[in-house]
């Protein structure tokens, strides 16, 4: 089978298409013939070596999620799964392949109303956005700012905040064109990357969902209302300064909160239940899967180049056929 491997840490060019034997599912696993493969920001971080300190190594196949048809099951897995179309979490990698192995405990049936490309576009991004808002204790009627809103998690956080009854949904983004697209998804205020917007834009928010982090993160503590909560779910702009908490402590009397969020801390059954509910909502037309582009597995280098160039709005999806 064809697979994409990280040959060494570095730029997109270190990704190479290789031929590997078809894997066999072990006990508790399923083998999936992939139809759609999600490309995420974490894949870029793993490939670059940014996560080497956390155990990422060269020789890894990137990709955390796939959609496809179950071709085979391992011992202990109900054979009724064979032939069914499912979404699966492959773990810290292993998704950029024609035939993927995944734990049976992670697979979720994909509704007939949802395409494979749309399902994998929603997948982890929608689930993380859902739990990030919950982690922030977001409540109906509160205002939300999504920082770095044009990526997969960001576009879902915008939709879910709007769907959850936010009084305002502000976004930071890099262009007016992207701002217009985010308005179509539920954003009510568009700010630049520094958080500047129109004169009538809110200046502070109850909740900030931050996908970017980076050097500018500390300045956004000033954008929180009293009792405001900021939750960081990514670091696509790099790590924040070591002393980033100074700004929060300087506003001590506002009782601000800062937290990181990783879906690893959510029990697997809860992740699966939430993802299934989000798929159902998308199937009913209540959520939109925002697909930037569908590329072939052989174009993984191009996919990573587009992400690093800041061209992607929503998500890129790889498919074995490129369709």
- The confidence score (pLDDT) of residue 52 equals 81
Q: State how far the Cα of 207 lies from the Cα of 90, in Å rounded to an integer.
A: 31
302 CA to centre of own chain:
19
Rounded average pLDDT over 69-76: 98
Q: What is the length of the chain? A: 323
Give the burial string for 94-119 (b: 16+ CB within 10 Å, else e): bbbbbbbbbbbebbbebeeebbbbbb
Mean confidence (pLDDT) of the chain: 94
Mapped onto helix, strand or coil, the DSSP state of residue 52 is helix
Tokens of 313: 């709005």
Q: State how far the Cα of 266 lies from the Cα of 272, in Å rounded to an integer.
A: 10
Q: What is the DSSP code (8-state) at residue 54?
A: G
Q: State how far the Cα of 20 lies from the Cα of 145, in Å rounded to an integer.
A: 44
Render pLDDT for 75-127 as a digit per residue (tens, 0 to 9).
999 999 999 999 999 988 999 999 999 999 999 999 999 999 999 999 999 99
Q: What is the DSSP code (8-state) at residue 272?
A: H
Rounded average pLDDT over 155-162: 98
- The confidence score (pLDDT) of residue 322 equals 63
Beta pairing, strands 205-210 & 143-147: parallel
Tell me which residue has tokens 């129109």.
198
Q: How many CB atoms lie within 10 A of CB 162?
A: 16
- The confidence score (pLDDT) of residue 323 equals 61
Q: State how far the Cα of 287 lies from the Cα of 274, in Å rounded to an integer.
A: 14
Render pLDDT for 262-317 as a digit per residue (tens, 0 to 9).
999 999 999 999 999 999 999 999 999 999 999 999 999 999 999 999 899 999 99
Q: State how far the Cα of 14 lies from the Cα of 155, in Å rounded to an integer.
A: 29
Q: Where are the alpha helices (DSSP H) in 151-230?
A: 152-163, 176-184
Non-local (6+) Cβ contacts of 222 within 8 A are 204, 247, 251
- CA torsion 260-213-132-199 (nearest 10°) is 130
Provide, for the chain, the percentages of residues in helix, strand and coil under a 3-state DSSP scheme, each rounded to the nearest 5: 35, 25, 40
Q: State how far the Cα of 75 lies from the Cα of 85, in Å rounded to an integer.
A: 20
Beta pairing, strands 2-6 & 15-19: antiparallel
196 band by pLDDT with thresholds 50, 70 and 90: confident
Tell me which residue has tokens 């908490």.
245
58 band by pLDDT with thresholds 50, 70 and 90: confident
Q: How far is CA 305 from CA 92, 123, 192, in A?
A: 21, 22, 23
Render pLDDT for 212-261 as a digit per residue (tens, 0 to 9).
999 999 999 999 999 999 999 988 888 899 999 999 999 999 999 999 99
210 CA to centre of own chain:
12
């Amino acid at each position: 089978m064809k697979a994409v491997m990280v040959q060494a840490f570095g730029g997109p060019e270190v990704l190479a298409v290789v031929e590997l034997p078809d894997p066999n599912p072990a006990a508790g696993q399923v083998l999936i013939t992939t139809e759609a493969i999600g490309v995420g920001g974490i894949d870029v971080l793993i490939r670059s070596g940014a996560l080497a300190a956390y155990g990422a190594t060269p020789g890894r196949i990137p990709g955390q999620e796939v959609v496809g048809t179950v071709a085979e099951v391992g011992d202990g897995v109900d054979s009724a799964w064979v032939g069914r179309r499912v979404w699966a979490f492959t773990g810290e990698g292993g998704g950029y392949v024609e035939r993927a192995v995944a734990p049976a405990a992670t697979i979720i049936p994909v509704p007939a109303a949802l395409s494979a490309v749309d399902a994998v576009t929603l997948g982890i991004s929608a689930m993380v956005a859902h739990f990030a808002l919950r982690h922030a204790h977001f409540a109906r009627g509160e205002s939300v700012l999504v920082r770095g809103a044009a990526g997969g998690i960001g576009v879902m956080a915008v939709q879910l905040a709007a769907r959850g009854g936010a009084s305002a949904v502000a976004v930071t983004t890099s262009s007016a064109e992207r701002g217009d697209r985010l308005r179509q998804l539920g954003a009510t205020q568009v700010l630049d990357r520094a958080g500047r917007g129109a004169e009538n834009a809110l200046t502070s928010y109850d909740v900030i969902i931050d996908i970017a982090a980076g050097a500018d993160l500390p300045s956004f503590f000033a954008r929180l209302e009293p009792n405001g909560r900021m939750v960081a779910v990514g670091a696509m702009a790099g790590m924040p300064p070591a002393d980033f908490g100074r700004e929060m402590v300087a506003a001590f009397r506002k009782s601000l909160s800062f937290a990181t969020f990783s879906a690893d801390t959510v029990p697997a059954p809860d992740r699966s239940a939430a993802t299934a509910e989000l798929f159902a909502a998308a199937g009913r037309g209540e959520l939109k899967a925002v697909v930037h582009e569908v590329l072939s597995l052989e174009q993984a280098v191009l996919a990573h180049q587009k992400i690093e160039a800041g061209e992607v709005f929503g998500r890129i999806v790889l498919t074995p056929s490129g369709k």
